């Protein structure tokens, strides 16, 4: 890629998209972000221009994308809320893909999830599978990156486990807790995205870190790092989800979703393939034990308060 090339990134002011954007800017690329937070333009010192998603006005979307070489797509919803449903998120993503094709974008780098499948019984994983199929059948060359749980500064899931462990005397694990996950560092995901953008061939790779934990081990590790003395107990998944709903009223968020629990318990957040991320969560937690979980990270606040 030459430095004058323009790249489109969804969510440059969000989480994964922010790290991808940082790399592109450092390499001298121009970035236009599609976002619901276009008022955050001062981040990156004004070096990122912003346009709204315009899902209901695809011709504007095409205009925003015209001239771009690569489209980094992170857009997705963590859970249905109000008028936002997984079906609508799939449809919106199709609109993004079609607009990119019409605008002449050469390559898409798409952030999916491990074990995405259009046959999945979990709507999150099914929606992601449908989008992968749409990308594979589009006219763009593609790199599909499939992360497990992403951790790093500003993450939601690992941070909020730490927050709960710091704050409450009891922590509930859904079911036996002997299902596994293989967290990946956000900087590793961003490195993979930018490296894959430079390649020509179509790729599908899992973004998975070097540590595989059972959920029991993960919770114990985080508890140890943040000095929690919470009593860790096991509850039926339905009861754990119900309690997370009650907690959600307190923190005004959706703390945990059916698909997160189901996906975890079905071992969908581990990869049968090679390790592709470098940073170990255990190491990162040691380095960040004083800050991880010091505040609650709210998905609803991030995406529904503008
Ligand atoms: N975080 C994880 O642990 C994890 C794990 C596996 C896979 N992934 C996948 O990685 C990608 C990036 O995840 P992330 O956590 O970094 O996401 P994020 O930055 O919070 O959001 C990514 C993009 O989606 C948009 N978005 C998110 N929720 C939305 C909503 N409810 N309504 C409208 N727009 C919404 C954001 O809009 P704004 O630009 O307005 O913020 C942003 O452009 C996603 O596709 C996700 O499925 C994430």
CATH of the domain at 196: 3.40.50.720
Domain identity same for 176 and 91: no
Predicted pLDDT at 1? 40
Domain identity same for 53 and 197: yes
Does residue 1 lie within any of the structural domains?
no
Give the predicted TM-score (pTM) of the model. 0.97
Domain holding 177: CATH number?
Answer: 3.90.25.10
Q: Provide the domain count of the chain.
A: 2
Q: Whose CA is nearest to atom 2 of ligand 1?
A: 150
Domain identity same for 109 and 247: no
Predicted pLDDT at 252? 96
Nearest atom, ligand 1, residue 36 CA: 40
- Please, what is the end-to-end C-alpha distance for the chain in angstroms? 35
| Across 116-126, average pLDDT | 98
> Given a cut of 70, is residue 3 above it in pLDDT?
no
CA gap 75, 45 in Å, rounded: 23
Find the domain containing 49 and state its range: 6-148+185-207
Q: How confident is the model at residue 4 (pLDDT cuts 50, 70, 90)?
A: low
- Reported as a single tens digit per residue, the pLDDT across 216-274 is 999 999 999 999 999 999 999 999 999 999 999 999 999 999 999 999 999 999 999 99
Q: Whose CA is nearest to atom 28 of ligand 1?
A: 77
For ligand 1, the distance from its centroid to the CA atom of residue 194, given in whole angstroms, is 17
Domain identity same for 121 and 171: no
Does residue 254 lie within any of the structural domains?
yes
Domain identity same for 76 and 163: no
Q: Whose CA is nearest to atom 24 of ligand 1?
A: 75
Predicted pLDDT at 38? 80
Task: Give SS3 for 108.
Answer: strand
Q: Rounded to whole angstroms, what are the CA distances from 231 to 157, 169, 207, 236?
A: 19, 6, 32, 16
> Given a cut of 70, is residue 2 above it in pLDDT?
no
- Reported as a single tens digit per residue, the pLDDT across 58-109 is 999 999 999 999 999 999 999 999 999 999 999 999 999 999 999 999 999 9
* Summary mean pLDDT of the chain: 96
Pocket of ligand 1 (CB under 6 A): 10-11, 13-17, 35-37, 74-77, 84, 111, 113, 147, 149-150, 157, 302-303
Domain identity same for 42 and 175: no
Q: Rounded to whole angstroms, what are the CA distances from 60 to 63, 64, 68, 200, 234?
A: 5, 6, 14, 28, 50
- Reported as a single tens digit per residue, the pLDDT across 184-222 is 999 999 999 999 999 999 999 999 999 999 999 999 999
Nearest atom, ligand 1, residue 14 CA: 19
Domain identity same for 231 and 193: no
**237 Cβ partners below 8 Å, 6+ apart?**
174, 175, 261, 265
Structure tokens at 138: 């589009």
Domain identity same for 289 and 272: yes
Does residue 216 lie within any of the structural domains?
yes
């Amino acid at each position: 890629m030459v430095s004058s090339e323009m790249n489109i990134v969804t969510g440059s002011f969000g989480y994964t998209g922010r790290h991808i954007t940082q790399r592109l800017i450092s390499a001298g690329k121009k970035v236009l972000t599609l976002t619901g937070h276009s008022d955050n333009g001062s981040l990156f010192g004004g070096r990122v221009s912003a346009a709204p998603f315009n899902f209901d006005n695809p011709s504007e979307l095409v205009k925003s994308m015209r001239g771009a070489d690569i489209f980094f797509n992170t857009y997705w919803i963590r859970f249905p809320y109000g008028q936002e449903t997984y079906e609508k998120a799939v449809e919106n993503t199709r609109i993004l893909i079609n607009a990119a094709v019409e605008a002449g974008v050469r390559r898409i780098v798409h952030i999916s999830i491990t074990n995405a499948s259009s046959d999945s019984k979990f709507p999150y994983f099914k929606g992601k599978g449908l989008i992968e199929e749409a990308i594979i059948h589009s006219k763009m060359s593609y790199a599909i990156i499939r992360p497990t749980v992403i951790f790093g500064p500003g993450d939601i899931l690992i941070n909020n486990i730490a927050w709960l462990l710091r704050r409450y005397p009891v922590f509930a694990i859904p079911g036996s807790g002997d299902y596994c996950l293989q967290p990946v560092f956000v900087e590793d995901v961003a490195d993979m995205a930018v490296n894959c953008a430079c390649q020509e061939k179509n790729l599908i790779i899992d973004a998975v870190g070097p540590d595989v934990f059972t959920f029991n081990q993960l919770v114990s590790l985080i508890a140890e790092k943040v000095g929690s003395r919470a009593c860790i107990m096991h509850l039926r998944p339905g009861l754990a989800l119900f309690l997370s709903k009650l907690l959600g009223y307190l923190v005004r968020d959706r703390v945990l979703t059916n698909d997160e629990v189901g996906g975890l318990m079905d071992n969908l957040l581990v990869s049968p393939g090679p390790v592709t991320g470098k940073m170990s969560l255990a190491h990162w937690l040691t380095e960040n034990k004083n800050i991880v979980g010091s505040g609650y990270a709210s998905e609803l606040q991030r995406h529904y308060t503008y």
